[in-house]
Structures are given as C-alpha cells and as structure tokens.
Structure 1
C-alpha cells in the first residue's frame, strides 16, 4: 500500500507500455457523492489501482463478498482520509493486484456501505458487483453483516463479527491496518462513537 497526494483534478488512466500493466484510477467521494468511481474494475496480475480521496472523510477497506460491510481480517484498510472542501491536492492510496479472483471493498464511514458505497475488482457472473452492492444495501448497520446473516446470528447467539473469504490478495507497498474479525461490545461502542464523530466532518 502506498500513500501519496495527487492533484485534485481528474487524473488520466495510464498504461505502462513496456510491461502492459494498467494503473486504474478510482475516485472516492467525487462530487460529494457516496461513491467509488468507477465502482468496479477488471484488473490483471501486476496492475495497480490508485484510490483518490476526493472529498469529505472516507476509507477504502477490504471486505468479503459474504459480508460487504465488515472489515476482512488482515485486509487492506486506508483508515479515514479527511479532505477539506476546496482542497487542491488529495490523498491517494495505490495497491497492486496479485490475483484475478474477485476482491471486495467498502467505505467504513458510518452508514456509507449500507448506502451502497462499495467497490469490486474482477467481479464475476456468479458473484457480481450488483449482488455485492445489494447485500451491502441490506446490511445491518451495527454488525455490517447482511440482514439475513445478522438475524441468523442473533438467533443462534453466535458472534456476528466474523468475515469469510481467503487471505487478501492485493499487495501493497508499505503497511496496512489489520482488522480484527470480531469486536467486543465495549470496543464496538467506542468505534461507533469514533465513526459518528468522524461523520460530523461530512
């Protein structure tokens, strides 16, 4: 994972002619919206994705197809990236793709994922972006799990903070913030307050 700053103007998508690798540019929160633009890319091994934080206070956080609004343990997490109104340069995060199987991401700002602020790399017909976004839209805002999973978990008494999926396969230069698979009630309350406070910047 590599952080840097970029000009706030839209940057062109560049292709390295020697290696035929593509650098995809994804704008987060462009035009004050709760969006990743584009919402999905099809990337080859070795391609890079540069996430540009255009406005407000968002994250790019890795999740799984089964739990769109839950952090994937050990996955990529940019942390919150506040951007002042009218900023002339914005933070960016660049990740290198290591596989062609699907990768799933969301913004962990309070309520953003549940409003469909998600992103996918290499979705398939069986696991499409529309299905992923639809599951995010129905997620329980307190657990991040799709509503049906949250209800089943509450009924069985099982912890609802686990995430499924294989080890993340996008590499990054630098370090990423690891995410725990489950939270205690106390730490969840603290995170909810912190998220709410961060949301006041919006």
Structure 2
C-alpha cells in the first residue's frame, strides 16, 4: 500500500511538470505588433518573447494603458541587446495580463497584447492607448529571464532578473524627453522561469520520496 501511494504521488508531481507548455511570441516581426497578440496560458506555462527588432515588453494595467502594472509584472528592457534576444516569463495564475512596448509611440500605435483575456479586451486596451500621449517604462529589466536565441537552453547564456520591491520609471513623450518618477511594488513576487520551475518540481518529488 505504501509503495502504491508513493507511485501515485510521484506520477502526480511528474504530471505537473509535463503539463507546462511554452508559448512563443514574436516581437516586432512584420511591424509594430506581437504575434500572436492574444495568448491563452495555464498556470506554470512559459511565455517566450522573441525579439526580431528593437522593442520591449512590459506588463501593463488595463485601466491605465501604456503604464506598468502597479504591482508584480515584468519588463524585458530594450531587446535585442548585449547578445540577448528573447525574454521568458512563467505564468503564476490565469488572471489577465496586458502588455505593451514602451518605445516612443509604439504602444499608442497598437503594439500591445494580452495573456488570458477576460471581459476586458485587447481591442479596448489598444483603443484607449491610442488616446494617450506618453508611455511609462520601468528603470531596469525584471520578472523573467533574458536569453541568447542562438544558445537557448544553455545555463551560461541566461540571465535571471527578479522583481524588486521598488522600481524607478521613466516617461517617454512625443518630444522624446524623459521624466523620472518612483513607483512602489509592495510584496511583488519574482516570476519563476523554466529552469527554476523544473528544479522546483524535482524538489517536490524528492520531498515526496522522503515523506514515504
């Protein structure tokens, strides 16, 4: 009986790891857009943003288009840069996440997307974004992993960025000027990346073995 219970526990934990999917999003391929711009992802899934030209991706707020999320979230920084060409995040829940490009004029031109769209739609977000005259950017990349596309999967080619308790933001305007402001991110949790997720699953399996 004990052996059977152990097998069931191990199979359940393995199923959790095996069920995670990776969703690839092309950034800036063929214009100011994310392809696809609407993604449906389950908890634990990975979203990879692959940059084909100089752009960004930052988690936003539906009620404040072209502005970073008030808490948590993620920001890639401008990519490709310094050998890094894609940015990956892990989905911690199935709540809707809107995202946009912070480069001057891009968000206003409709460069935005959504993960797990709900009653608030991407078209509504883009329509409201077109009426704004500025985009706000976090100071530095956080909330995911930067990687070199040519060496994807290599531990030596990845840089993990984490969510800090506070971040300084800059505002891009039509004139190109920047105004600094500070926004607090209380209790924000870092996004888990693919490798970290796998390690977590194996740690759970090991713990289950010890428990039996």
Output the TM-score relative to the length of structure 1.
0.60
Number of residues paired by the alignment?
Answer: 141
Q: 1:50-61 residue pairs with structure 2 within 5 A?
A: 50-55=48-53, 57-61=54-58
Whose RCO is larger (CA < 8 A, sep 6+)? Answer: 1
The answer to whether the 8 Å contact 2:47/2:89 transfers is yes
Aligned counterpart in structure 2 of residue 128 of structure 1, from 116, 121, 124: 121
- In 1: Cα distance, 2:162 partner to 2:64 partner: 20
1:95-130 CA-to-partner distances (Å, cap 9, x unmatched) read 000010101110000000000000110111x21121
Distance 2:61 2:124 in 1: 12
Q: Distance in 1 between matches of 2:86 and 2:170?
A: 28
Q: Give secondary structure in 2 for the equivalent of 1:63.
A: strand
- Alpha carbons of 1:176 and 1:108: their partners in 2 closer, same or farther (altered >3 Å)? farther
Q: Where does residue 65 of structure 1 map in the other structure? A: 62
1:71, distance to aligned residue in structure 2 (A): 1.9
Q: Are the equivalent residues in 2 in contact too, given 1:53–1:90 (CA < 8 A)?
A: no
Cα distance change, pair 107–179 in 1 and its aligned pair in 2 (3 A): farther
Cα distance change on mapping 1:182 and 1:66 into 2, 3 Å = farther
Structure 1 residue 176 displacement after superposition: 4.4
The separation in 1 between residues aligned to 2:169 and 2:66, in whole angstroms, is: 12
Alignment of 1:73-84 (within 5 A): 73=70, 74-82=72-80
Structure whose alpha-carbon radius of gyration is higher: 2
CA-CA distance at 1:179 after TM superposition: 4.0
Contact 2:52 2:80 in 1 (8 A): no
Please list, as runs of the form range in 1=range in 2, the aligned pairs for 1:26-175 lying within 5 A after superposition: 26-31=25-30, 33-55=31-53, 57-73=54-70, 74-82=72-80, 91-124=85-118, 126-139=119-132, 141-142=133-134, 144=135, 172=144, 174-175=160-161
Could you list the runs of 5+ residues in structure 2 that have no partner in the other structure?
Answer: 1-14, 146-159, 181-212
User: What 5-or-longer segments of structure 1 have no aligned partner?
Assistant: 1-15, 84-88, 146-160, 162-169, 193-202
Report the Cα distance in structure 2 between the residues aligned to 1:104 and 1:44, rounded to whole angstroms: 16
CA drift of 1:67 comes to 1.1
Query: What is the TM-score when the length of structure 2 is the normalising length?
Result: 0.57
Mapped contact 1:77–1:176 kept (Cα < 8 A): no
Provide the rounded CA distance (Å) in 2 between the counterparts of 1:43 and 1:28: 18
